[in-house]
Structure 1
Amino acid sequence: MKAQPKKIKLRIKVGDEVTVIAGDSKGKTGTVLSVDAVKNRAIVKDVNLVTKHIKPTAATANAAAQQGDIVKKEASIHISNLALIDPKSGKATRVGRKLDEKGKLQRFSKKTGDIIK
């Protein structure tokens, strides 16, 4: 029986504004659309675009799928290649976690020390 990979707590969440710090899309920024915590990967809007070929089908109502098409879509990118953009300074920052007054973990920017919503 194969062991399940461990899901770890990530410092990047859906809706965060991030910049790519390594790879082919280095320097691009975008919003996180989805996060896969098991594979440590995220999909970022308009970053790491790949070309997908859609096969023609006869039984669908969608006109593009009926003819077949070539579509650009976002591919996943590893979390280690992303850096969160600090809302205050607009630059890339590292993320820390600390307890607030209620005992709940909050994310904060290591650059400015502000809480990240």
Structure 2
Amino acid sequence: MVIKTLWRLCLALFAGHELDAVAQAEWRLLYGLRDLDPALGQQWFIALHVPLCVALMWLIGHPRRAIQRTSRQLLAAFAVVHAGLHYNLQQHPLYLFDSLLSQTLIFACGATGLLYLMLDLGRQRSPCND
């Protein structure tokens, strides 16, 4: 139950961050989008999230449990890496994620993803898993 709650919290924090990412013009930090006109970059940033979300929903809801679990682990690992990327970008002149809300969404997502991975991978090694 705790592991599922952590997964859901990680996903919710990530969703909150993605909403905040539009407000903070995150596309201006991304290769391929940062050289576009700001309005076009924003449109592409939002539009590209649609197939990403479809793929994520398909993978985490896949009929095979192994695919569900691996997909959840990969997204949780990405949350950790993503928090590290944001940490390293904090001094970038176009970085706008300075508010308490932005920082909380990013780093709580990474921490929750890390905790989820630790517990889930520990559960995989346990003789009484799932």
Please give the range of the TM-score, normalised by the shorter of the 2 chains. Answer: under 0.3
Structure with more contact order per residue of length (Cα contacts < 8 Å, sep ≥ 6): 2
Structure 1 or 2, whichever has the larger Rg, is 1
Question: Greater strand share, 1 or 2?
Answer: 1
Q: Which has the higher helix share?
A: 2
Task: Calculate the TM-score normalised by the size of structure 1.
Answer: 0.25
